Amino acid sequence: MNQDYGFVLYRTTITNGKSGWLKIKDLRDYGIVFINGQRIGILDRRLNQDSLHIDLPNGKIILDILVENMGRINFGPYLLKK
């Protein structure tokens, strides 16, 4: 994305209620998860929180994840991971 800092909003629309785990593999930042504009949880690399159980109601749902770029990992075993 050629974005060195700031925020990125990921958005998708889902229909027909679902329930399950939202998991971000190799999470490296901080994200706030919203369903229809209501905050339902956070994902945070610093706290090893890379998943969140969600229950989506029936109908058309907007799922947003607002991600804050927390900079580059410049130490430890994750340094060489892309």
Q: What is the DSSP string of 2-70?
A: ---SEEEEEEEEE-S-EEEEEE-TT--SEEEEEETTEEEEEEEGGGTB-EEEEEEPSS-EEEEEEEEE-
Which pLDDT score is estimated for 16?
86
Three-class SS of residue 73? coil
Domains contained in the chain, CATH given: 6-71 (2.60.120.260)
Please say if the pLDDT value at position 21 is more than 80. yes
Contact yes or no for 27/10 (Cβ under 8 A): no
What local confidence, expressed as pLDDT, does residue 75 receive? 55
Extract the tokens encoding 60. Answer: 């058309």
Per-residue pLDDT tens over the stretch 22-72 = 998 877 788 999 999 999 999 988 888 889 999 998 999 999 999 887 666
pLDDT of residue 77: 60
